[in-house]
Protein backbone atom coordinates (compact mmCIF):
# COMPACT_ATOMS: atom_id res chain seq x y z
CA UNK A 1 0.00 0.00 0.00
CA UNK A 2 1.42 3.40 -1.02
CA UNK A 3 1.63 6.43 1.24
CA UNK A 4 -1.30 8.03 -0.59
CA UNK A 5 -3.42 4.88 -0.28
CA UNK A 6 -2.80 4.75 3.45
CA UNK A 7 -3.99 8.32 3.75
CA UNK A 8 -7.07 7.58 1.63
CA UNK A 9 -7.96 4.64 3.89
CA UNK A 10 -8.37 7.13 6.74
CA UNK A 11 -11.24 8.90 4.98
CA UNK A 12 -14.86 7.82 5.22
CA UNK A 13 -15.93 5.69 2.28
CA UNK A 14 -19.21 4.58 0.74
CA UNK A 15 -19.38 1.53 3.01
CA UNK A 16 -18.78 3.50 6.20
CA UNK A 17 -21.64 3.35 8.70
CA UNK A 18 -23.54 6.66 8.95
CA UNK A 19 -24.42 6.01 12.59
CA UNK A 20 -22.42 7.42 15.49
CA UNK A 21 -20.05 4.82 16.91
CA UNK A 22 -20.22 3.51 20.47
CA UNK A 23 -16.89 5.27 21.09
CA UNK A 24 -18.46 8.61 20.17
CA UNK A 25 -21.34 7.96 22.55
CA UNK A 26 -18.74 7.12 25.19
CA UNK A 27 -17.02 10.42 24.38
CA UNK A 28 -20.31 12.25 24.93
CA UNK A 29 -20.55 10.95 28.49
CA UNK A 30 -17.74 13.35 29.42
CA UNK A 31 -19.87 16.24 28.21
CA UNK A 32 -22.72 15.21 30.49
CA UNK A 33 -20.29 15.93 33.33
CA UNK A 34 -18.73 18.97 31.61
CA UNK A 35 -22.06 20.72 31.00
CA UNK A 36 -23.04 20.04 34.60
CA UNK A 37 -19.87 21.85 35.69
CA UNK A 38 -20.82 24.79 33.46
CA UNK A 39 -24.30 25.07 34.98
CA UNK A 40 -23.04 24.63 38.53
CA UNK A 41 -20.47 27.37 38.05
CA UNK A 42 -23.22 29.79 36.98
CA UNK A 43 -25.47 28.69 39.86
CA UNK A 44 -22.64 29.34 42.33
CA UNK A 45 -22.10 32.79 40.81
CA UNK A 46 -25.78 33.73 41.06
CA UNK A 47 -26.24 32.33 44.56
CA UNK A 48 -23.13 34.00 46.06
CA UNK A 49 -23.84 37.50 47.43
CA UNK A 50 -21.36 40.28 46.76
CA UNK A 51 -20.09 38.88 43.46
CA UNK A 52 -20.14 40.66 40.12
CA UNK A 53 -22.61 38.16 38.68
CA UNK A 54 -22.43 39.20 35.03
CA UNK A 55 -18.64 39.25 35.01
CA UNK A 56 -18.62 35.73 36.45
CA UNK A 57 -21.26 34.56 33.98
CA UNK A 58 -19.20 36.00 31.10
CA UNK A 59 -16.23 33.96 32.31
CA UNK A 60 -18.34 30.82 32.40
CA UNK A 61 -19.62 31.54 28.88
CA UNK A 62 -16.02 31.74 27.68
CA UNK A 63 -15.23 28.35 29.23
CA UNK A 64 -18.38 26.83 27.74
CA UNK A 65 -17.46 28.11 24.27
CA UNK A 66 -14.04 26.49 24.61
CA UNK A 67 -15.67 23.16 25.48
CA UNK A 68 -18.12 23.53 22.59
CA UNK A 69 -15.31 24.07 20.10
CA UNK A 70 -13.59 20.89 21.30
CA UNK A 71 -16.82 18.89 20.87
CA UNK A 72 -17.63 20.43 17.47
CA UNK A 73 -14.22 19.80 15.91
CA UNK A 74 -14.18 16.24 17.26
CA UNK A 75 -17.62 15.64 15.70
CA UNK A 76 -16.41 16.97 12.36
CA UNK A 77 -13.32 14.74 12.51
CA UNK A 78 -15.39 11.58 13.04
CA UNK A 79 -17.80 12.68 10.29
CA UNK A 80 -14.96 13.24 7.82
CA UNK A 81 -12.63 10.38 8.77
CA UNK A 82 -13.34 6.71 9.40
CA UNK A 83 -14.05 6.33 13.15
CA UNK A 84 -13.16 2.62 13.11
CA UNK A 85 -9.53 3.39 12.25
CA UNK A 86 -7.16 3.06 15.17
CA UNK A 87 -5.66 6.54 14.83
CA UNK A 88 -9.11 8.21 14.80
CA UNK A 89 -10.18 6.16 17.82
CA UNK A 90 -7.04 7.32 19.60
CA UNK A 91 -7.90 10.92 18.69
CA UNK A 92 -11.40 10.50 20.16
CA UNK A 93 -10.17 8.86 23.37
CA UNK A 94 -7.45 11.49 23.83
CA UNK A 95 -10.02 14.26 23.25
CA UNK A 96 -12.24 12.56 25.79
CA UNK A 97 -9.52 12.63 28.42
CA UNK A 98 -8.61 16.23 27.60
CA UNK A 99 -12.28 17.26 27.87
CA UNK A 100 -12.47 15.53 31.25
CA UNK A 101 -9.45 17.51 32.46
CA UNK A 102 -11.03 20.75 31.22
CA UNK A 103 -14.30 19.91 33.01
CA UNK A 104 -12.51 19.13 36.28
CA UNK A 105 -10.53 22.38 36.07
CA UNK A 106 -13.52 24.48 34.96
CA UNK A 107 -14.88 25.57 38.39
CA UNK A 108 -11.49 27.13 39.26
CA UNK A 109 -10.28 27.85 35.73
CA UNK A 110 -9.93 31.57 36.47
CA UNK A 111 -7.97 30.83 39.64
CA UNK A 112 -5.38 28.19 40.48
CA UNK A 113 -6.42 25.74 37.73
CA UNK A 114 -5.98 28.16 34.84
CA UNK A 115 -2.84 26.53 33.43
CA UNK A 116 -4.41 23.05 33.65
CA UNK A 117 -7.50 24.19 31.72
CA UNK A 118 -5.48 26.00 29.03
CA UNK A 119 -2.98 23.17 28.53
CA UNK A 120 -5.73 20.56 28.20
CA UNK A 121 -7.55 22.74 25.66
CA UNK A 122 -4.43 23.40 23.59
CA UNK A 123 -3.28 19.78 23.71
CA UNK A 124 -6.51 18.77 21.98
CA UNK A 125 -6.85 21.67 19.58
CA UNK A 126 -3.27 21.36 18.33
CA UNK A 127 -2.57 17.68 18.96
CA UNK A 128 -5.69 16.36 17.22
CA UNK A 129 -5.07 17.96 13.78
CA UNK A 130 -1.34 17.34 14.10
CA UNK A 131 -1.87 13.61 14.59
CA UNK A 132 -4.33 13.44 11.69
CA UNK A 133 -1.87 15.35 9.49
CA UNK A 134 0.81 12.76 10.19
CA UNK A 135 -1.62 9.87 9.67
CA UNK A 136 -2.74 11.24 6.27
CA UNK A 137 0.86 10.95 5.06
CA UNK A 138 1.03 12.36 1.51
CA UNK A 139 -2.71 12.63 0.93
CA UNK A 140 -3.75 16.11 -0.37
CA UNK A 141 -6.17 16.58 2.53
CA UNK A 142 -3.28 16.81 4.94
CA UNK A 143 -3.04 20.50 4.00
CA UNK A 144 -6.44 21.02 5.69
CA UNK A 145 -5.32 19.76 9.09
CA UNK A 146 -1.96 21.47 8.64
CA UNK A 147 -3.79 24.80 8.36
CA UNK A 148 -5.62 24.09 11.61
CA UNK A 149 -2.36 23.25 13.40
CA UNK A 150 -0.76 26.49 12.23
CA UNK A 151 -3.78 28.62 13.18
CA UNK A 152 -4.26 27.05 16.60
CA UNK A 153 -0.55 27.34 17.40
CA UNK A 154 -0.71 31.10 16.94
CA UNK A 155 -3.79 31.32 19.15
CA UNK A 156 -2.04 29.24 21.83
CA UNK A 157 0.10 32.26 22.72
CA UNK A 158 -2.92 34.14 24.09
CA UNK A 159 -4.16 31.07 25.99
CA UNK A 160 -0.81 30.40 27.64
CA UNK A 161 -0.21 34.06 28.44
CA UNK A 162 -3.65 34.26 30.04
CA UNK A 163 -3.02 31.15 32.12
CA UNK A 164 0.25 32.56 33.45
CA UNK A 165 -0.86 36.07 34.41
CA UNK A 166 -2.01 36.40 38.04
CA UNK A 167 -4.89 38.85 37.46
CA UNK A 168 -8.24 37.18 36.58
CA UNK A 169 -9.39 40.28 34.67
CA UNK A 170 -6.33 40.23 32.41
CA UNK A 171 -6.69 36.47 32.03
CA UNK A 172 -10.25 37.00 30.81
CA UNK A 173 -9.06 39.52 28.22
CA UNK A 174 -6.29 37.27 26.91
CA UNK A 175 -8.48 34.16 26.83
CA UNK A 176 -11.23 36.10 25.06
CA UNK A 177 -8.67 37.10 22.44
CA UNK A 178 -7.52 33.47 22.11
CA UNK A 179 -11.06 32.13 21.82
CA UNK A 180 -12.01 34.82 19.30
CA UNK A 181 -8.99 33.83 17.23
CA UNK A 182 -9.99 30.15 17.36
CA UNK A 183 -13.62 30.80 16.36
CA UNK A 184 -12.50 33.19 13.62
CA UNK A 185 -10.37 30.38 12.23
CA UNK A 186 -13.38 28.06 12.22
CA UNK A 187 -15.57 30.67 10.52
CA UNK A 188 -13.00 31.66 7.87
CA UNK A 189 -11.49 28.25 7.23
CA UNK A 190 -8.15 28.75 9.05
CA UNK A 191 -6.52 30.79 6.25
CA UNK A 192 -2.72 30.70 6.18
CA UNK A 193 -0.24 32.29 3.75
CA UNK A 194 0.14 30.43 0.42
CA UNK A 195 -2.39 27.73 1.32
CA UNK A 196 -5.39 30.01 1.81
CA UNK A 197 -8.59 28.94 3.65
CA UNK A 198 -10.45 25.63 3.79
CA UNK A 199 -14.02 26.32 4.89
CA UNK A 200 -15.76 23.43 6.63
CA UNK A 201 -18.80 24.26 4.48
CA UNK A 202 -16.91 22.73 1.56
CA UNK A 203 -15.87 19.53 3.34
CA UNK A 204 -17.20 16.16 2.22
CA UNK A 205 -18.95 14.86 5.35
CA UNK A 206 -21.27 12.00 6.29
CA UNK A 207 -24.52 13.94 6.58
CA UNK A 208 -26.53 11.44 8.59
CA UNK A 209 -23.66 11.00 11.02
CA UNK A 210 -23.20 14.74 11.55
CA UNK A 211 -26.94 15.25 12.09
CA UNK A 212 -27.00 12.46 14.66
CA UNK A 213 -24.11 14.05 16.53
CA UNK A 214 -25.97 17.38 16.77
CA UNK A 215 -29.10 15.60 17.99
CA UNK A 216 -27.05 13.79 20.61
CA UNK A 217 -25.40 16.92 22.03
CA UNK A 218 -28.83 18.52 22.31
CA UNK A 219 -30.10 15.48 24.22
CA UNK A 220 -27.02 15.67 26.45
CA UNK A 221 -27.96 19.26 27.30
CA UNK A 222 -31.48 18.10 28.16
CA UNK A 223 -29.99 15.30 30.28
CA UNK A 224 -27.89 17.83 32.14
CA UNK A 225 -31.04 19.77 33.10
CA UNK A 226 -32.64 16.52 34.28
CA UNK A 227 -29.67 16.06 36.61
CA UNK A 228 -30.12 19.60 37.95
CA UNK A 229 -33.85 19.07 38.52
CA UNK A 230 -33.30 15.75 40.27
CA UNK A 231 -30.36 16.75 42.44
CA UNK A 232 -31.90 20.06 43.48
CA UNK A 233 -35.26 18.59 44.48
CA UNK A 234 -33.71 15.56 46.20
CA UNK A 235 -31.63 17.92 48.36
CA UNK A 236 -34.59 20.15 49.27
CA UNK A 237 -37.63 19.68 51.48
CA UNK A 238 -40.39 17.58 49.92
CA UNK A 239 -42.92 20.39 50.22
CA UNK A 240 -45.83 21.06 47.87
CA UNK A 241 -44.24 24.25 46.52
CA UNK A 242 -40.97 22.49 45.78
CA UNK A 243 -42.78 19.64 44.06
CA UNK A 244 -44.70 22.12 41.91
CA UNK A 245 -41.43 23.74 40.79
CA UNK A 246 -39.93 20.28 40.22
CA UNK A 247 -42.87 19.26 38.01
CA UNK A 248 -42.83 22.55 36.08
CA UNK A 249 -39.11 22.23 35.43
CA UNK A 250 -39.56 18.73 34.06
CA UNK A 251 -42.44 19.94 31.87
CA UNK A 252 -40.31 22.70 30.34
CA UNK A 253 -37.53 20.21 29.57
CA UNK A 254 -40.03 17.84 27.93
CA UNK A 255 -41.36 20.75 25.87
CA UNK A 256 -37.84 21.61 24.73
CA UNK A 257 -37.54 18.03 23.46
CA UNK A 258 -40.91 18.17 21.74
CA UNK A 259 -40.36 21.51 20.04
CA UNK A 260 -36.84 20.62 18.90
CA UNK A 261 -37.71 17.26 17.34
CA UNK A 262 -41.06 18.24 15.82
CA UNK A 263 -40.28 17.81 12.14
CA UNK A 264 -37.06 19.86 11.84
CA UNK A 265 -35.13 17.86 14.43
CA UNK A 266 -36.21 14.58 12.82
CA UNK A 267 -35.39 15.79 9.29
CA UNK A 268 -31.91 17.20 9.91
CA UNK A 269 -30.20 14.05 8.61
CA UNK A 270 -32.27 13.98 5.44
CA UNK A 271 -31.82 17.72 4.91
CA UNK A 272 -28.04 17.39 5.05
CA UNK A 273 -28.10 14.31 2.84
CA UNK A 274 -30.09 15.99 0.02
CA UNK A 275 -28.49 19.43 0.36
CA UNK A 276 -26.48 20.69 -2.60
CA UNK A 277 -23.75 21.63 -0.13
CA UNK A 278 -23.98 19.32 2.91
CA UNK A 279 -21.01 21.00 4.56
CA UNK A 280 -22.67 24.43 4.38
CA UNK A 281 -25.83 23.21 6.09
CA UNK A 282 -23.75 21.27 8.63
CA UNK A 283 -21.70 24.35 9.45
CA UNK A 284 -24.81 26.51 9.86
CA UNK A 285 -26.49 23.87 12.05
CA UNK A 286 -23.41 23.82 14.28
CA UNK A 287 -23.82 27.50 15.20
CA UNK A 288 -27.57 27.06 15.67
CA UNK A 289 -27.14 24.12 18.02
CA UNK A 290 -24.59 26.08 20.01
CA UNK A 291 -27.26 28.69 20.82
CA UNK A 292 -29.99 26.10 21.47
CA UNK A 293 -27.76 24.20 23.89
CA UNK A 294 -26.82 27.47 25.61
CA UNK A 295 -30.53 28.29 25.99
CA UNK A 296 -31.19 24.91 27.60
CA UNK A 297 -28.25 25.32 30.00
CA UNK A 298 -29.36 28.83 30.99
CA UNK A 299 -32.85 27.49 31.69
CA UNK A 300 -31.33 24.73 33.83
CA UNK A 301 -29.88 27.39 36.11
CA UNK A 302 -33.37 28.85 36.38
CA UNK A 303 -34.71 25.44 37.45
CA UNK A 304 -32.47 25.35 40.51
CA UNK A 305 -33.40 28.89 41.49
CA UNK A 306 -37.12 28.14 41.22
CA UNK A 307 -36.97 24.78 43.04
CA UNK A 308 -34.95 26.28 45.89
CA UNK A 309 -36.94 29.54 46.09
CA UNK A 310 -40.39 28.94 44.52
CA UNK A 311 -42.14 31.89 46.16
CA UNK A 312 -39.22 34.15 47.07
CA UNK A 313 -38.83 37.69 45.80
CA UNK A 314 -37.76 37.55 42.15
CA UNK A 315 -34.30 38.96 41.56
CA UNK A 316 -33.50 40.74 38.31
CA UNK A 317 -30.80 38.24 37.43
CA UNK A 318 -33.15 35.31 38.08
CA UNK A 319 -35.57 36.50 35.39
CA UNK A 320 -32.79 36.28 32.82
CA UNK A 321 -32.41 32.56 33.49
CA UNK A 322 -36.06 31.63 34.00
CA UNK A 323 -37.41 33.52 30.96
CA UNK A 324 -34.25 34.31 28.97
CA UNK A 325 -33.21 30.67 28.59
CA UNK A 326 -36.44 29.59 26.85
CA UNK A 327 -36.36 32.76 24.70
CA UNK A 328 -32.81 31.97 23.59
CA UNK A 329 -33.78 28.40 22.75
CA UNK A 330 -36.83 29.50 20.74
CA UNK A 331 -34.85 32.10 18.78
CA UNK A 332 -32.28 29.48 17.77
CA UNK A 333 -35.02 26.93 17.07
CA UNK A 334 -36.63 29.43 14.68
CA UNK A 335 -33.34 29.66 12.79
CA UNK A 336 -33.10 25.87 12.79
CA UNK A 337 -36.54 25.70 11.15
CA UNK A 338 -35.35 28.11 8.48
CA UNK A 339 -32.28 25.96 7.83
CA UNK A 340 -34.45 22.90 7.22
CA UNK A 341 -37.59 24.33 5.56
CA UNK A 342 -36.68 27.84 4.42
CA UNK A 343 -39.40 29.39 6.60
CA UNK A 344 -40.11 30.28 10.24
CA UNK A 345 -43.34 29.54 12.13
CA UNK A 346 -45.04 32.61 13.53
CA UNK A 347 -45.63 30.81 16.82
CA UNK A 348 -41.91 30.65 17.54
CA UNK A 349 -41.34 34.32 16.84
CA UNK A 350 -44.41 35.20 18.91
CA UNK A 351 -43.09 33.03 21.74
CA UNK A 352 -39.77 34.88 21.78
CA UNK A 353 -41.55 38.26 21.84
CA UNK A 354 -43.88 37.21 24.66
CA UNK A 355 -41.01 35.94 26.80
CA UNK A 356 -39.03 39.13 26.25
CA UNK A 357 -42.11 41.22 27.09
CA UNK A 358 -42.64 39.22 30.29
CA UNK A 359 -39.10 39.89 31.54
CA UNK A 360 -39.81 43.36 33.02
CA UNK A 361 -43.03 42.03 34.59
CA UNK A 362 -41.23 39.06 36.10
CA UNK A 363 -39.88 41.24 38.92
CA UNK A 364 -43.46 41.40 40.23
CA UNK A 365 -43.90 37.63 39.97
CA UNK A 366 -42.63 34.82 42.10
CA UNK A 367 -40.06 32.50 40.45
CA UNK A 368 -42.74 29.79 40.30
CA UNK A 369 -45.17 32.02 38.38
CA UNK A 370 -42.39 33.15 36.01
CA UNK A 371 -41.47 29.54 35.20
CA UNK A 372 -45.16 28.68 34.76
CA UNK A 373 -45.45 31.58 32.31
CA UNK A 374 -42.51 30.23 30.29
CA UNK A 375 -44.08 26.77 30.33
CA UNK A 376 -47.39 28.21 29.08
CA UNK A 377 -45.64 29.86 26.13
CA UNK A 378 -43.90 26.59 25.22
CA UNK A 379 -47.16 24.63 25.56
CA UNK A 380 -48.86 27.06 23.18
CA UNK A 381 -46.07 26.56 20.62
CA UNK A 382 -46.23 22.77 20.93
CA UNK A 383 -50.01 22.83 20.48
CA UNK A 384 -49.64 25.12 17.46
CA UNK A 385 -47.13 22.71 15.92
CA UNK A 386 -49.47 19.77 16.42
CA UNK A 387 -52.46 21.67 14.99
CA UNK A 388 -50.52 22.77 11.92
CA UNK A 389 -49.43 19.18 11.20
CA UNK A 390 -52.79 17.52 11.92
CA UNK A 391 -54.17 15.72 8.87
CA UNK A 392 -51.45 17.00 6.55
CA UNK A 393 -48.76 14.98 4.74
CA UNK A 394 -45.33 14.99 6.33
CA UNK A 395 -43.34 18.02 5.25
CA UNK A 396 -40.10 17.39 3.41
CA UNK A 397 -36.88 19.39 3.88
CA UNK A 398 -36.36 22.34 1.56
CA UNK A 399 -33.25 24.02 2.90
CA UNK A 400 -32.39 27.36 1.30
CA UNK A 401 -28.75 26.65 2.13
Mean pLDDT rounded to a whole number for the chain: 90
Per-residue confidence (pLDDT) for residue 289, from 0 to 100 = 96
The string of pLDDT tens digits covering residues 363-387 is 899 999 999 999 999 999 999 999 9
Measured distance CA(42)–CA(27) in Å, rounded: 24
**Contact in structure between 370 and 358 (CB atoms under 8 Å):** yes
Domain residue ranges in the chain? 3-198, 207-389
Per-residue confidence (pLDDT) for residue 252, from 0 to 100 = 98
Query: CATH 1.20.1410: does it fit domain 207-389?
Result: yes
Per-residue confidence (pLDDT) for residue 2, from 0 to 100 = 56
Per-residue confidence (pLDDT) for residue 236, from 0 to 100 = 85
More confident call, 381 vs 12: 381
Identify the band that residue 8 occupies on the pLDDT scale cut at 50, 70 and 90: confident
213: Cβ–Cβ under 8 A, 6 or more apart, which residues? Answer: 20, 24, 75, 78, 79
The string of pLDDT tens digits covering residues 109-139 is 999 999 999 999 999 999 999 999 999 888 8
Identify the band that residue 15 occupies on the pLDDT scale cut at 50, 70 and 90: low
Measured distance CA(83)–CA(80) in Å, rounded: 9
pLDDT, average across residues 270-283: 82
Per-residue confidence (pLDDT) for residue 163, from 0 to 100 = 97
The string of pLDDT tens digits covering residues 209-255 is 888 999 999 999 999 999 999 999 998 888 888 899 999 999 999 99
**Contact in structure between 355 and 326 (CB atoms under 8 Å):** yes
Identify the band that residue 274 occupies on the pLDDT scale cut at 50, 70 and 90: confident
**Alpha carbon 312 to its chain's center:** 31
Identify the band that residue 198 occupies on the pLDDT scale cut at 50, 70 and 90: confident
Amino acid sequence: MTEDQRGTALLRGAVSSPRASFLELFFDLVFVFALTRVSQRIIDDVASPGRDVWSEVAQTLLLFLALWLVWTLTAWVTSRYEPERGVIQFVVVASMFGSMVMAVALPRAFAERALTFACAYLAMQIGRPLLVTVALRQHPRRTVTARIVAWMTVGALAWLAGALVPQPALRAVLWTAGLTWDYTGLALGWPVPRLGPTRVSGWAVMGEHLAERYQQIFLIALGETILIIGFTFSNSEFAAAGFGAFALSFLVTALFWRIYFHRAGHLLAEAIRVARSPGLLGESASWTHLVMVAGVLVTGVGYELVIDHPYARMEQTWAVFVLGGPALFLAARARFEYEIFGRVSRSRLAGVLVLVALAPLALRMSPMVALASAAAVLVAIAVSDAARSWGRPAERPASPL
